[in-house]
Structure 1
Amino acid sequence: MARTFRRPRAAHPISELNVTNLIDLAFTLLIIFMIATPLIQSEQTVPVNLPVESKSEQSRPDKDTRFETITIKADGTCTLAGRVVPLANLRKTLATYAAEPKPPVFRIRMDQKATAQHFISVMDALKQNGLSKVTFDTQTGS
């Protein structure tokens, strides 16, 4: 007589949840955010006292819109995308942006103590290159 030595298998649910993949995903996202956050904040590294305006409703820009920042400090120095650019060379530097098929929108961050001549020089350089999409950064008053 033949005898079978197999044990009957009991179908029981798995009571343990494997979270290894979730932990790997969490650490990957943490690393991405740690790298991306300083890059997002890099344009805010130039300290300027922005002009004050009254609080108003703002419209949201298109998500495909690319922005470049021009900062005018009180002493007349100008930075474009984090690089210091003399006002005399700003027109030549902006020509590279004007040659692009879809030029960016320029955010002007101007110190409230900067002169009107500095502002006019920047606007003139933008106008000479045909760059007409401009926004102005301000702070809201109380």
Structure 2
Amino acid sequence: MKGGMMQSVRRKPMSEINVVPYIDVMLVLLVIFMVTAPMLTQGVKVDLPETTSDPIQAEKETESVVVSVDANGAYFLQVGDEGSDPMPLERLREQVSKIMAGRSNREVLVRGDQNVQYGTVVRLMSVLQRAGATNVGLITEAEETDGTGG
């Protein structure tokens, strides 16, 4: 009876998963993320205060540099008491670069309208950083209180 009928051997289904290909994929993804992660970090370096902020005491020998952004996104440069007309961002970068060439540790203050888009102020701060301004601060107004303590 051997010749005509072969007995089929049934194998029991294997209940284990081969994880070796998954480990290979995981290691490839890990290498890709390790290479691309440093390229994804961008931003503007801002030194945030660690305590409640007090008014800035301006130095007598240096004129303050104030860059303003109005609600329409127009840029203005003010050095000491001299203000400017609205100017494009590239011209502003050139002007601030000239000012910073004389004294690189001079503080540049940014005054942004509360209705201006956040991206406009961030773009401005990035341009100021490229122009050589290492110390950039934000000008705000004190919050008005109604006398109820909060």
Question: What CA distance in whole angstroms lies between the structure 2 residues aligned with 1:140 and 1:114?
Answer: 18
Distance between the aligned counterparts of 1:56 and 1:126, measured in 2?
Answer: 22
- Cross-structure match for 2:62: 65
Structure 2: stretches of 5+ with no match in the other structure = 1-51, 146-150
Give 1 or 2: higher strand fraction. 1
Number of positions where the alignment pairs a residue of Structure 1 with one of Structure 2: 88
Which residue identity does 1:58 align to in structure 2? P
Counterpart of 2:97 in structure 1 is 95
Q: What RMSD, in angstroms, separates the aligned Cα atoms of the two structures?
A: 2.1
If you compute each CA radius of gyration, which structure gives the higher value, 1 or 2? 2
Instruction: State the 1:103 CA deviation.
Output: 5.5
1:135 aligned partner, one-letter code = G
Q: 1:78 to 1:59 in 2, by over 3 A?
A: closer
Q: Letter of the 1:105 partner, please give it.
A: E
What SS does structure 1 have at the residue aligned with 2:76? strand
Go from structure 1 to structure 2 and tell me whether the alpha carbon gap of 1:128 and 1:63 turns closer, same or farther (over 3 Å shift): same
Corresponding residue SS for 1:139? coil
CA contact (8 A) 2:105 2:134 kept: no
**TM-score, normalized by length of structure 1?**
0.53
Percent same amino acid at aligned positions? Answer: 23
SS of the residue 1:140 aligns to? coil
Amino acid in structure 2 at the alignment position of 1:73:
D
Alignment of 1:115 with 2:104, yes or no, is no
- In the TM superposition, what is the alpha-carbon distance from 1:139 to its structure 2 partner? 1.1
- Structure 1 residues 101 and 126 mapped into 2: Cα distance closer, same or farther (>3 Å)? same
Q: Is the 8 A contact 1:108 1:137 kept in 2?
A: yes
Check conservation: 1:72, 1:114, Cα contact below 8 A: yes
Alignment of 1:2-41 (within 5 A): none
Q: Unpaired runs of 5+ in structure 1?
A: 1-54
